[in-house]
Amino acid sequence: MSKRKPRSIIYGLIKTMRPRQWVKNLALYAPLLFSGFLFYKPAHAASYFLQVTAAFFVFSLLTSSIYIINDIIDVEADRHHPFKRFRPIAAGILPVPVAVLAAVSILFFVFISSLFFPVFFGVLVLTYFLLQIAYVNYFKHIAILDIVSIATGFLIRIYAGSAVVNLHMSVWFLLTVLSAALFIAVAKRQSEMTLLSTMPKSATGLTRKTLTRYSQRLLDQYTAMFATATWLTYALFTFQNQVSASQLSASIYLNFPRSFQTQKLLMLSVPFVILAVMRYLQLVYENNRGEAPDKILFTDKPLLVTVALFGLTVFSVIYLF
């Protein structure tokens, strides 16, 4: 038993860090991808891709440290939750002192590492950390503010990715990210409400206080509003974004009717966004799977295929056409 305990503690620590949630930090690559500079390498510096990748790992460690802090603070509430009670700290697998030491050590590394990036990236790292601490201790217990805080975190990720390589992002894309983050956050509340609907109201308040302040009707309205805003703002972004045609594709376009000769080819990716939103709504309302967005992305084949086709379309339009 003594030989297995350190191994179980390490496993518990890795599980508490939630590396699967790092998929959210892929948002740092969005400014690089949509700007057309994915393969750009400036003189006397690492390529933009490598710079953003380094920032991705720093930001991912930051979010992992916050997950550890969150589980330390919410240990009692998690023990009343039907699923969160199995988290390592709540289940007693990961001792609290070890978790505290790990969180402090990771944060120290993150803040030191951020000094090697542009100043504004370090400011955003600090801002994200302060926002999440405020969320864990205060905002998560206030209806609406809890959802807005989650969406703000995604906006900070976008700005962090652009700050690393000094790129500009369209306001329509920022609105798309904001709408999508609000949509996913509300869908998460939808699923939590359904999962805990069989529990007494007092127990529901112990797991997440804000659930007692959302009605099902209100969540339905929020879900519909942000689902529509997600695909609509992205459509406006693609309409405003003009992709310069390569010499080869330009010669091909000449053989097409004029109605097909356009520089707004990025709009070809809009149907995949609409399909992804529709599929996500189906999973939330019919399968009640909105509580773990990262798990849905990796396990639901229709959604995974839709996201892959979306990425392939965007890449092809920007970098191949």
Give the pLDDT of residue 213: 81
Give the pLDDT of residue 216: 85
Structure tokens at 223: 């879900």
Distance separating the N- and C-terminal Cα atoms of the chain = 60
| Average pLDDT taken over every residue of the chain | 86
Q: What is the pLDDT of residues 283-308, one digit of tens each?
A: 888 877 766 777 787 889 999 999 99
Which residue, among 66, 149, 45, 153, has the nearest Cα to 110 in the 3D structure?
66
Q: Does 255 have pLDDT greater than 80?
A: no
How far is the C-alpha of 160 from the C-alpha of 128, rounded, in Å? Answer: 10
Q: Does 2 have pLDDT greater than 50?
A: no
Task: Quickly tell me which residue has 């709009």 as its tokens.
Answer: 267
- The domain locations on the chain are 1-169, 170-321
pLDDT band per the 50, 70, 90 thresholds, residue 201: low
Average pLDDT over residues 251-278: 75
In percent, the amount of the chain with pLDDT more than 70 equals 86
Give the pLDDT of residue 247: 47
Average pLDDT over residues 13-37: 93
Give the pLDDT of residue 192: 79
Give the pLDDT of residue 252: 53
Q: Are 279 and 303 in contact (CB under 8 A)?
A: yes
How far is the C-alpha of 108 from the C-alpha of 131, rounded, in Å? Answer: 18
| Domain covering 1-169: architecture | Orthogonal Bundle (1.10)
Cα-based angle 218, 75, 211 (whole degrees, multiple of 5): 10
Average pLDDT over residues 261-275: 84
pTM of the model: 0.86
Give the pLDDT of residue 269: 95
Q: What is the pLDDT of residues 92-137, one digit of tens each?
A: 889 999 999 999 999 999 999 999 999 999 999 999 999 999 998 8
pLDDT band per the 50, 70, 90 thresholds, residue 248: very low
HEC string of 33-46 equals: HHHCCCCCCCCCCC
